[in-house]
Structure 1
Amino acid sequence: SKGVKSAKELDGATVCIQTGTTTELNLADFFRANKIKYTPVPIEDSSEARKNYLADRCDAYTTDASGLAATRATFEKPSDHVILPEIISKEPLGPVVRHGDNQWEDIVRWAVFALIQAEESGVTAGNADEMAKTPPNPDVARLLGAEGDLGAMLGLDKAWALRAIKARGNFGEIFESNLGTKTPIGLERGLNALYTAGGLQYAPPFR
């Protein structure tokens, strides 16, 4: 760390940036909007950026926040490096499926929704079986297959969401165990929190 607490303090800095990406364009816009200058250090991929950054060939490195966190976790002393708070573009990441495989797309989409709804409803890997036996409300009953026919609409059985939740937990459990503040990656939930907690994550009704 060079004592910088904001990207707006990077006037005159050298910045490793992958060429031909939206990140490159967004960075240029950010510096221009804040009337500060920088020197780009073109790199081809994240491994080259990591190498140049650690060799002090650039003062900063920019990419998606999750990518920065994952890269920092590989450093010998991650705490010596700071991810600055400014978000200079909105580029959400999510699952991708092959175009034209509509059933698989529906399954993936609703599996994510199921994990989000499970978190909102308090269904966890540890209590999912008990919740399925005695659902506390109709939403949980439909989610866990005690009521409704969403599974059949997806070409699956009634317990599909129950198995998904039992395997790794709800959306929050999965985030915290793989990416959260107690992992080497160390990401805050931020906008990945539920809408009820100020985030963007919500699921449509399970009907």
Structure 2
Amino acid sequence: AWLRRDGGRPGDLLMVTGWLGAAAAGLRCLLHPDAASGMPEQLRDAWRSALVAPRARISEGMQLVAAGIRCGGDISDGLIVDAGRTAVASGCGAELWLDRIPVAPGLVEHFGRGRVELALGGGEDFELLAAASPEQATETLARWPAELAPLAIAGRLVEDDGVRLLASEQGESLPLPASLARHWR
């Protein structure tokens, strides 16, 4: 068995592994070294490493499949694009909850609101996205091995088309950053 993007249903929770935005932050540091010079070297090195030597989440994918999860895929083109692909393949839409999206360490402090664009659209993070019923997601999270990359709920599949960004699960709808909105107008 493996993960396929077309197995989701409205109401399924969207889960992601690891932290998003590190590779995009690494690219920004490489392209704009003057702006990055005031950032801690350890963070810049971690972000660059995420860009040039990403770690495939093979063990995490195997754990998701072992937990009975069948809907998912990688987040190589950014969460907004890959959540959209999963939603379209599953015949539904998606909502992402900004307060639950796990962003890479240092993004909030050094990129402020720009972290949203990095985490949602930066891509190249090579984390995983999975969709599962609320019961299955809760059970998977409870049994998730500590030695693997963290697993977090970041949104859900919905009846509507498209991808929406919400401040929180019950929160207000937020505009997508202009650079990302072109994918889901």
Q: Which has the higher contact order (CA 8 A, sep 6+)?
A: 2
Who wins on radius of gyration, i.e. which is larger?
1
| TM-score normalized with structure 2 length | 0.26
| TM-score normalized with structure 1 length | 0.24
User: Where is the strand percentage greater, Structure 1 or Structure 2?
Assistant: 2
